[in-house]
Amino acid sequence: MKYSAVFLVSVLSALSCIQAQHDPHFWTGHSTIVHLFEWKFSDIAQECERWLGPRGFGGIQLSPVNENVIVEPPASDSNRPWWERYQPVSYQLTTRSGTEADFLDMSRRCNAVGVRLYVDIIPNHMAAHPADGSVGYGTGGSTAVPRDRDFPAVPYTLSDFNPSCEITDWNDRVMIRNCELFGLPDLNQGLDSVRDKLVAFMDHLIDLGVAGFRVDAAKHMWPQDLEVIYGRLKNLNTDFGFPAGARAFMMQEVIDNGDHEVVRKYEYSHLGTVTEFMFSFYLGRAFRGNDDLVWLESFGEAWGLLPSRDALVFVDNHDNQRHDHGTILSYKLPKPYKMAIAFGAAYPFGQLRIMSSFAFDDFDLGPPMDGNGNIVSPSINTDNSCGNGWVCEHRWRQIANMIKFRNICWGTPVANWWSNGANKIAFSRGNRGFVAFNNQGVDMLEILQTGLAAGIYCDVISGDKVGNSCTGKSVTVLTDGRASIHIAHDAEDGVLAIHVESRL
Given CA atoms 360, 366, 368, 372 in this order, what sign does their dihedral have? negative
Give the distance, in angstroms, between the CA of residue 132 and the centroid of all CA atoms in the same chain: 34
**Predicted confidence (pLDDT) at residue 325 exceeds the cutoff of 90:** no
Measuring CA to CA, how many Å separate 466 from each of 384, 399, 472?
16, 18, 10
Residue where a domain stops, chosen among 226, 248, 275: 275
In a domain, 292, yes or no: no
Taking only the tens place, the pLDDT of each residue in 289-318 is 999 999 999 999 999 999 999 999 999 999
**Predicted confidence (pLDDT) at residue 137 exceeds the cutoff of 60:** no
Confirm if 80 and 366 have CB atoms less than 8 A apart: yes
CATH number of the structural domain spanning residue 489: 2.60.40.1180
Mean pLDDT of 267-278: 98
In a domain, 496, yes or no: yes
Mean pLDDT of 392-400: 98
In a domain, 372, yes or no: no
Q: Distance between CA 282 and CA 299 in Å, rounded?
A: 9
pLDDT of residue 133: 43
CATH number of the structural domain spanning residue 90: 3.20.20.80
Query: Mapping DSSP to helix (H, G, I), strand (E, B) and coil, where does residue 277 land?
Result: helix
In a domain, 96, yes or no: yes
Give me the number of domains the chain comprises.
2
**Predicted confidence (pLDDT) at residue 342 exceeds the cutoff of 80:** yes
Taking only the tens place, the pLDDT of each residue in 172-219 is 999 999 999 999 999 999 999 999 999 999 999 999 999 999 999 999
Rounded to 5 degrees, what are φ and ψ at 178? -110, -10
DSSP string covering 96-117: TTB-HHHHHHHHHHHHHTT-EE
Mean pLDDT of the chain, nearest integer? 93
Confirm if 453 and 477 have CB atoms less than 8 A apart: yes
Q: Distance between CA 223 and CA 106 in Å, rounded?
A: 32
In a domain, 350, yes or no: no
Structure confidence at residue 446 as a pLDDT band (50, 70, 90): very high
| Helix, strand counts (H, E) of the chain | 9, 22
Residue where a domain stops, chosen among 225, 241, 275: 275
Q: Please, which residues bridge with residue 446 across strands?
A: 485
Domain of residue 430 covers 414-502
In a domain, 435, yes or no: yes
Taking only the tens place, the pLDDT of each residue in 158-180 is 999 999 999 999 999 999 999 99
Rounded to 5 degrees, what are φ and ψ at 277? -65, -25
Taking only the tens place, the pLDDT of each residue in 456-498 is 999 999 999 999 999 999 999 999 999 999 999 999 999 999 9
Instruction: Name residues whose C-beta falls within 8 Å of residue 478's C-beta, 6 or more positions apart in sequence.
Output: 454
Residues recognised as catalytic? 216, 253
**Length of the chain, in residues:** 504
In a domain, 83, yes or no: yes
Q: Distance between CA 52 and CA 58 in Å, rounded?
A: 8
Q: What is the DSSP letter of 442?
A: S
Q: Distance between CA 34 and CA 22 in Å, rounded?
A: 17
Mean pLDDT of 68-95: 88
Query: Mapping DSSP to helix (H, G, I), strand (E, B) and coil, where does residue 36 land?
Result: strand
Taking only the tens place, the pLDDT of each residue in 235-244 is 999 999 999 9
Residue where a domain stops, chosen among 275, 297, 320: 275
In a domain, 328, yes or no: no
Stated pTM of the model: 0.94
